[in-house]
Structure 1
Amino acid sequence: MMTERENLLRVVRFERPDYIPMVFHINAACWHHYPLQALEELMGQHPMLFPEFEASARRVELTSDSHAEARRSFIDPWGCTRDTTEDGIATLVTRPALPNWDDWPDFLPPDPATSSGVGPIDWQQVEAGFAAAIDAGRLARGGLQHGHTFLTLSDIRSYEALMYDMADEESRLWELIDMVETFNAESVRRYVQAGAEWMGYADDLGMQEGPMVSPAHFEKYLKPSYGRLIAPARDAGCIIHMHSDGDIRQLADHLLEAGVEVINLQDLVNGIDWIEDRLAGRVCIDLDIDRQAITRFGTPEQIDALVRDEVERLGSQEGGLMMIYGLYPGVPLANAGALMDAMERYATHYS
C-alpha cells in the first residue's frame, strides 16, 4: 500500500491514488463542550481518520488558538489586541495595531527569524520536523500564518479602514502591504530552506455571499503579493495549497493564476454545482465539508448522502479530491460520528 506521502502526491497530480485523503479536525473548544470520553470513543472507533490516536490526545484545528482563553486579552506579534468569547475558539481583533496613519512612522513588523506572525517559531525545529515527517512517509508541510496577507492587513488597520484605504488609494497602504509581504517572503524562504515540500497560504477572503474584497481590489492590491509569495515555493517544487473560508467564486480564477495548485474551499457556500463545473478536474480540490447546515441540523442519513454526492461529483479514479471537516461545539455527536463513518466509507469509493 502507498505511504500517505505517495498517495497525497498522486491525488494532487491526478495520478490514480489509492484513496481520497480525509481529515477530521476537532477544534480545541470541543474539549470544553463535549464529554471527553465521548470524543475519545469516536476517535478510537475511526482509525483511518485518527491513526495515531491515544486516549487523552488532543487534535485541534488551529494550534495558535488551542490555548485561547475567554476574558483574557493579549497582543499578537503585529500589535493587535485580541479576545475570544469561548475557550479554544479563534480570537478576534478588538483593537487594531494601526488605527491611525499618524502612527505609521513608528510601526514595526515582527521579526521573521523568531516569529511566525502569530507566535514564536524555531526554524531549527521546523527543519527537524520536516525530516521526521519524510522519514515517517509523510510530506514536509510548511505554511504561512493563517490570514497571511488580507486578514493581517484587516487586523492591523481594521476591515472598514482597509476598505477605505483601498477605495481612496491611500499611498501608505502600499507601504504597509510591502511590509507584510517582506515579512511573509522571508518566512517562505526559511520554509523552503528547511525542506518544505508543501506550502500553505491560508487567507480567508469570502463572506456568506460574495468575497470580502472586490475582485478589482483583490487583483490590484493582493494578487501581486500572492504571486510573489507563491513563486519561490513553487519554483522549489513545493505543492501550493490555499485555504479560504466563505464564498470565493469571484476570486477563484485569480487564485489559480497566482499559482495555487490545491484549493481548499467550503462546499455548500460556494455550491457543489459551481465547484463541479468550474474546478473539478482542473485543479486539486480540498473540500471543506459543510459546518453550517447538514452536519449541524441534518440527519445521519443526510450526512452520508452529502459526502457520497460530493465524492461522486468532484472525485474520480484519477484523483484531484481530498476532504476535510472541522468539528465545532454545537454539532450533535451522533452527526459527528455519522460524518466520520461517511468519510471513512467513501475514502475508498474509487479504489
Structure 2
Amino acid sequence: MKPRERVLRALMHEEPDQVPLFELGVSPLVLGKIFGKKPEECWCIFAGWETEFGLYEKLGLDCSTVYTLMFSPKYYRGLDKDKFVDSWGRIHSSNVAAGYISQFYIGGYLTTPEKYEEFPKLDPLDSWGIEQFKSAFKAAGDRIFPVAAVGSIWEVQGEALGWENMFRYMFTKPEFVKKVLEDSTNFLIELGKACIDLGAEVLLDWDDYGYVKGPMMSPKQFKEFIFPCLKKAADEFHRRGALLMVHSDGDIRLLMDMIIEAGVDAIQPLEPKAGMDIKEVAEKWGDQICLVGNVDVAHLLPFGTTEEVAQEVKRAIAAAAPGGGYMLGSGHQINDWCKPENFLAQIKAGKRFGKYPLNNLVHGDFNDS
C-alpha cells in the first residue's frame, strides 16, 4: 500500500497492510546523524520540503505534518537583539546553534485585552503561507501522507496572553477568553478550508490540554471554553470530507470523552510519561478515535537501548493496533536528544511487528531483519 491508503485505513479503524508510521516531525540533528549531513541540509526551513520529505521516505515513515504558516517569520517584530514577538503575539528568545535556529518561548506579549485587540491579526489566507503549504503538498506527492497543521485553538493563544493571564481571565473575563478562542478557531477553520482545497485530507489542531499530572483546566472549563471550538472545527472539516487530528501533550484522560464527542478523529501523541498508558487508552477509547504515538521521547528514545525500544513498540502495537485505528510514533516528536539508533529501532520494530494480520507479536532477536 501507498502511505495515503495505509494512513486513511488506520484513521477509519480498518486494518491496512501494516501499522502506519507517523511523526509530528524529526529533529534535523537526528536526521543529519542518520544520513551523514549537516542539520541545515535536512530541514525544510533551509533545504525545502522536497529534501525533508525525501529523507522521511528513506526512513520509511508514512505520515508527518506540514506546519509552515504556524511558524511564519513574515510578521515577526524584534524587541531587542535577543528577543522577538512572533506573528501570534508570543515573545521568543532566538539562538543560532548547530547550524539552525532554536527558538525558545519566554512569555506573552498580549497581556491585556487592549494589547490583544491592537495586535495585527494574522491572515489565514496570507499568500506567502498558502504558497508554502502548496509547495509542501507537492513535495509530499504519494511518498508521504501530509497532515496540515493549520493552527492552535488554545495553546498558542495561552502563550500569547501569558498562561497566568489566560487562566485568570477565564474567571474574571470569560467573554474575552471566548472571543480569543473564537478568533483562533476561525483562523484554524479558514486555513484548514484553504488546505483542503489544496488537497489536504487531515488537518491538525496543535494544542496542549494537559500537564504531566492531569489537565490544564477542569473538565467543566474545557466543556465551556474549548469543546465548542473543537466541535465547530470538526464539523466544518467533516462537511468538507476531511478529518481532524489533535495534538495534545499531557494527561488528558479526563478530557478524552469530550474530545471524542466534539468529533475529533485522531489524538496524538499519547504522552507515556504523563500516564497515557497505551493499553488503558486503547481499551477505553480505541474503538472511538484513532490513536497516534506513545513511544517515550523523555527517557526511552534518548537513554534506552534498541532492544528496549523494540519491546515498547511491540507492546504499543499489541495494545492498540488490532482491528486498525492506530499509528505508531513517538510520544511527541523526534527531538534533538533522541538517539538516532533508537529512532531507527522504533521504525524497524514498527515494520516488523506492525504487519497485518498481527500474528508476529512474539519475542525474538530484535537485531535480525
Q: Which TM bucket (shorter chain)?
A: 0.7 to 0.9
Q: Decide whether aligned partners of structure 1 residues 126 and 340 sit closer, same or farther in structure 2, where only a CA change above 3 A counts.
A: closer
State the one-letter code of the partner of 2:355: T
State the one-letter code of the partner of 1:285: L
CA shift, 1:238, in A, is 0.6
What is the aligned counterpart of 2:261 among 236, 257, 261?
A: 257
Residue of structure 2 in register with 1:296 after alignment: 302
CA shift, 1:36, in A, is 6.3
Report whether the alignment pairs 1:344 with 2:342.
no
Question: Map of 1:65-144 to 2, 5 A cutoff?
Answer: 72-84=82-94, 87=97, 91-114=103-126, 120-123=128-131, 126-127=133-134, 130=137, 136=142, 139=145, 141-144=147-150
Q: Decide whether aligned partners of structure 1 residues 338 and 141 sit closer, same or farther in structure 2, where only a CA change above 3 A counts.
A: closer
CA shift, 1:17, in A, is 0.8
In structure 2, list runs of 5 or more residues that go unmatched.
43-53, 74-80, 359-369
CA shift, 1:35, in A, is 8.1
Instruction: State the secondary structure of the residue aligned to 1:228.
Output: helix
CA shift, 1:291, in A, is 0.7
8 Å contact from structure 2 (residues 289, 325) kept in 1: yes
Q: Which of the pair is proportionally richer in strand? A: 2
Identity over aligned pairs, percent: 22
8 Å contact from structure 1 (residues 114, 122) kept in 2: yes
Give the CA RMSD over aligned residues: 3.5
Q: Decide whether aligned partners of structure 1 residues 102 and 280 sit closer, same or farther in structure 2, where only a CA change above 3 A counts.
A: closer
Taking the aligned partners of 2:352 and 2:26, their CA distance within structure 1 comes to: 19
Residue of structure 2 in register with 1:22 after alignment: 21
8 Å contact from structure 1 (residues 196, 238) kept in 2: yes
CA shift, 1:152, in A, is 2.1
Question: Map of 1:210-225 to 2, 5 A cutoff?
Answer: 210-225=214-229
Cα deviation code 1:150-198 (max 9, x no counterpart) = 1122122101111111122443223323332332332223223333221
CA shift, 1:323, in A, is 1.1
Question: Map of 1:322-333 to 2, 5 A cutoff?
Answer: 322-325=327-330, 326-333=333-340
Question: TM-score, normalised on structure 2?
Answer: 0.76
Residue of structure 2 in register with 1:159 after alignment: 163
State the one-letter code of the partner of 1:20: V
Cα deviation code 1:6-33 (max 9, x no counterpart) = 222221222321111113542135468x
Taking the aligned partners of 1:287 and 1:176, their CA distance within structure 2 comes to: 30
State the one-letter code of the partner of 1:215: P
Taking the aligned partners of 2:207 and 2:186, their CA distance within structure 1 comes to: 17
CA shift, 1:39, in A, is 9.5
Structure 1 ranges of 4+ moved more than 6 A:
59-67
